Amino acid sequence: MNNETWLTVADGVQRQVLAHGPELMLVKVRFETGGIGARHQHVHTQITYVESGVFRCEVGEEKVVLHAGGTFYAAPNVWHGVECLEAGVLLDSFSPMREDFV
């Protein structure tokens, strides 16, 4: 399934579901400089790939700045969030799929 619709989810942050099935979902998230992916937690395993831009990422107690090509892993129920330092795009994968995104 491909959902080409961009959804504004916060100031300077838009999300597009690229594909999903019951056990896996791929989502593109576009950030303007200063956009915030607020700290949150969920039952899904998440792996995020930085396609472009620069992001300050927080996963659990770890804080790191990631550039294009960087990744992070957020285990289920671990608090995580990002701040966009330079406009860019993240690719988020979730297992199982995020039913709240469709």
Per-residue pLDDT, averaged over 7-18, amounts to: 97
Above pLDDT 90, what percent of the chain? 94
- Nearest of 8, 34, 6, 3 to residue 19 by alpha carbon: 3
Please report the pLDDT score of residue 24 as a whole number. 98
| Ordered domains of the chain (ranges, CATH) | 24-101 (2.60.120.10)
Please report the pLDDT score of residue 72 as a whole number. 98
Per-residue pLDDT, averaged over 61-90, amounts to: 99
Task: Specify the 3-state DSSP secondary structure of 74.
Answer: strand
**Does pLDDT of 2 surpass 70?**
no
